[in-house]
Amino acid sequence: MAKRPNKKRKKEYEVAVEHGCILCKILYGVKTECEIHHLTGAGLALRNEEKFIPLCVHHHRGQGGVHHNTKDFEDKYGTQEELWEIYQQEIKERI
């Protein structure tokens, strides 16, 4: 069970929600409501509490989402790590 976010993490989540889905912003230039996606790796369903990206429902858990088929998602949009790096560049002044 994940522990409750501390004050710093809550602020980071707020910034992510204000930013909107990273892919909708890149692909369509629009801000959409988002969910927090914690990066996962090695097919082990291990969740990285430190690294997360904002994704809309479609890109997070929809038919084309990272949780539907991670390999297809990463082939189409880039790795989760690459998206995290892009997101970090976009928000670096806000945290």
For residue 6, pLDDT over 70 is answered with yes
Task: 15-21: list long-range contacts, CB under 8 Å, 24+ apart.
Answer: 15/91, 15/94, 15/95, 16/52, 16/53, 16/54, 16/87, 16/91, 17/54, 19/54, 19/87, 19/90, 19/91, 20/54, 20/56, 21/54, 21/55, 21/56, 21/59
How many angstroms from the chain centroid is the CA of residue 92? 15
Q: pLDDT band at 95, cuts 50/70/90? A: low
Query: Would you state the pLDDT for residue 40?
Result: 77
pTM: 0.87
